[in-house]
């Protein structure tokens, strides 16, 4: 067996290869796009555009135009890195004044200096002590995100895609994943009627389309418990009303999640045998047996061995991880455990669910997975040995 320091060298080499492959993705993303380059927002929803842009690792500029107003999002490998707007109320100084971060007097001072010198507003804000240098980057990110979120309110106008156009020195990779931005947009900008029109009148939970890119989406969705509660019911057999009663999650949020996964092309029409996620919940449940199984899962969660908890081998393929996660989460639902056990052991269920979400996040990230596997095998202090 290789010594820890030898394995560390291998780890560093693997990380270098991963970084190179990610850069290749960014370069490749500036190429052909299977979306139309121009279109009408009345026919194509912005959320669907953003989802497809992320799926296709697109690098370039998406602009929305309505009358004299133009707003744009710049993407690198499908991720928003900058936004701009021709509207005065969308400027960063206006945003900071609205949220109370600067006073109207400070805004006037900064605008005067910017107009006289041509300097950037952010640098001037720091120089005059209006905000700290540590607060500048978060403010820039909030500014870009505010512009992007405002664009989801547009139901009319034209869009234009320009592959290869970059943000240049103003790029700032957003802290939040596009999935999180879309969920916030649905919450703030989409009426219940608009969401219902997007997902259709059927009222049934669709099945989840499994592929390796779902890992990233699941890891992001796993940050909030209501996402996890709903996600395991994407099996094509339940109705939205059923899931609302079982989980206590509002029907509006369930509809948001359905449309979100639709935008990222993760919904399928497969049968139960094809998805591998469904189970006959009509059979009788052995309370004592299921309790022992739950206790065993809790013990694995407390050990924090993510591979054992997910029930996969350490050399499992990337596409096996989200499947294992959903399979394990399915075993924690009221239908699988029985309502009585699920209610009495709710704390254990939540602990297991949280560790499963962490396992998905870590093992779904190629760099983190290599580092985690090394630490599990040799311990966190092996590098210094």
C-beta of residue 364 within 8 angstroms of C-beta of residue 312:
no
167 domain residue, yes or no: yes
* The pLDDT of residue 28 is above 60: no
7 domain residue, yes or no: no
Instruction: Render pLDDT for 67-119 as a digit per residue (tens, 0 to 9).
Output: 999 999 999 888 898 999 999 999 999 999 999 999 999 999 999 999 999 99
C-beta of residue 215 within 8 angstroms of C-beta of residue 318:
yes
C-beta of residue 83 within 8 angstroms of C-beta of residue 64:
no
Same domain, 315 and 266: no
Taking alpha carbons only, the member of 189, 159, 183 closest to residue 53 is 159
Taking alpha carbons only, the member of 84, 85, 87, 136 closest to residue 110 is 136
Same domain, 162 and 45: yes
Q: Which two tokens stand for residue 37?
A: 């380059």
- Supply the DSSP string of 163-199, one letter for each residue: ET---GGG----SS-HHHHHHHHHHHH--HHHHHHHH
15 domain residue, yes or no: no
| pLDDT class of 381 with cuts at 50, 70, 90 | low
Same domain, 119 and 252: no
| pLDDT class of 8 with cuts at 50, 70, 90 | very low
Which has more confidence, 7 or 141? Answer: 141
Same domain, 263 and 323: no
18 domain residue, yes or no: no
Instruction: Render pLDDT for 197-206 as a digit per residue (tens, 0 to 9).
Output: 999 888 889 9
Question: Which CATH number fits the domain that encloses residue 375?
Answer: 1.10.287.110
Number of domains in the chain: 3
174, 204, 225 - which closes a domain: 174
Q: What is the mean pLDDT of the chain?
A: 82
Report CA dihedral (305, 306, 309, 315) to the nearest 10 degrees. Answer: -110
C-beta of residue 218 within 8 angstroms of C-beta of residue 325:
yes
Same domain, 212 and 257: yes
6 domain residue, yes or no: no
Tell me which of 33-37, 84-88, 164-168, 312-316 is least confident: 33-37
Tell me which of 3-12, 94-103, 334-343 is least confident: 3-12
Q: Which long-range contacts (CB under 8 A, 24 or more apart) does 80-88 make?
A: 80/144, 80/148, 80/174, 80/178, 80/181, 81/167, 81/171, 81/172, 81/173, 81/174, 82/144, 82/167, 82/170, 82/171, 82/172, 83/143, 83/144, 83/145, 83/147, 83/148, 84/147, 85/147, 85/150
Same domain, 161 and 230: no
Highest averaged pLDDT of the listed ranges 272-276, 305-309, 341-345: 305-309
Domain housing 266: 190-278
133, 148, 174 - which closes a domain: 174
Same domain, 271 and 327: no
C-beta of residue 39 within 8 angstroms of C-beta of residue 114:
no
174, 209, 228 - which closes a domain: 174
pLDDT value for 283: 47
119-133: b (≥16 Cβ within 10 Å) or e: eebbebbeeeebbee
Same domain, 154 and 98: yes
Same domain, 263 and 312: no
Rounded to 5 degrees, φ, ψ at 75 are -120, 145
pLDDT value for 172: 64
Same domain, 209 and 105: no
Tell me which of 13-27, 66-80, 130-144, 209-223 is least confident: 13-27
* The pLDDT of residue 59 is above 60: yes
Instruction: Render pLDDT for 201-249 as a digit per residue (tens, 0 to 9).
Output: 888 899 876 665 666 677 677 656 687 778 778 878 889 999 999 888 9
| pLDDT class of 364 with cuts at 50, 70, 90 | confident
* The pLDDT of residue 255 is above 50: yes
Same domain, 155 and 204: no
Which has more confidence, 235 or 312? Answer: 312
179 domain residue, yes or no: no
20 domain residue, yes or no: no
CA atoms of 72 and 218, how far apart (whole Å):
28
Q: What is the pTM of this model?
A: 0.68
21 domain residue, yes or no: no
In angstroms and rounded to an integer, the radius of gyration of the C-alpha atoms of the chain is 24
Same domain, 168 and 37: yes
């Amino acid at each position: 067996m290789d010594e820890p320091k030898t394995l560390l060298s291998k780890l560093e080499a693997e990380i270098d290869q991963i970084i190179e492959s990610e850069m290749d993705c960014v370069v490749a993303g500036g190429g052909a796009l299977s979306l139309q380059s121009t279109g009408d927002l009345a026919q194509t929803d912005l959320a669907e555009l953003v989802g497809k842009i992320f799926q296709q690792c697109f690098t370039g500029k998406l602009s929305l135009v309505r009358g004299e107003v133009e707003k744009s999002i710049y993407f690198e490998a499908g991720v928003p890195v900058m936004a701009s707007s021709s509207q005065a109320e969308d400027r960063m100084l206006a945003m900071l004044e609205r949220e109370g971060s600067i006073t109207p007097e400070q805004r006037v001072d900064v605008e005067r200096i910017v107009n006289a010198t041509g300097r950037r507003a952010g640098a001037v804000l720091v120089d005059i002590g209006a905000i700290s240098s540590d607060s500048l980057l978060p403010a820039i990110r909030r500014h870009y995100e505010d512009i992007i979120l405002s664009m989801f309110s547009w139901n009319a106008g034209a869009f234009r895609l320009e592959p290869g156009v970059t943000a240049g020195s103003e790029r700032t990779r957003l802290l939040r994943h596009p999935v999180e931005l879309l969920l916030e947009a649905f919450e703030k900008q989409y009426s219940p009627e608009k969401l219902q029109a997007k997902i259709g009148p059927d009222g049934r939970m669709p099945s989840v389309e499994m592929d390796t890119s779902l890992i990233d989406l699941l890891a992001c969705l796993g940050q909030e418990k209501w996402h996890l509660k709903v996600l395991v019911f994407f099996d094509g057999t339940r109705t939205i009303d059923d899931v609302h009663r079982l989980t206590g999650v509002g029907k509006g949020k369930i509809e948001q999640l359905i449309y979100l996964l639709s935008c990222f092309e993760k919904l399928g029409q497969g049968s139960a045998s094809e998805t591998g996620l469904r189970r006959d919940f009509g059979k009788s449940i052995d309370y004592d047996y299921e309790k022992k199984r739950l206790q065993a899962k809790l013990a694995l969660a407390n050990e924090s061995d993510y591979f054992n908890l997910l029930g996969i081998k350490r050399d499992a393929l990337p596409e096996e991880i989200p499947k294992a996660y959903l399979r394990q989460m399915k075993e924690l639902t009221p239908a699988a455990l029985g309502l009585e056990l699920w209610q009495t052991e709710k704390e254990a269920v939540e602990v297991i669910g949280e560790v499963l979400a962490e396992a998905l996040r870590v093992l779904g990230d190629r760099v983190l997975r290599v580092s985690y596997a090394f630490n599990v095998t040799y311990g966190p202090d092996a590098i210094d040995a």
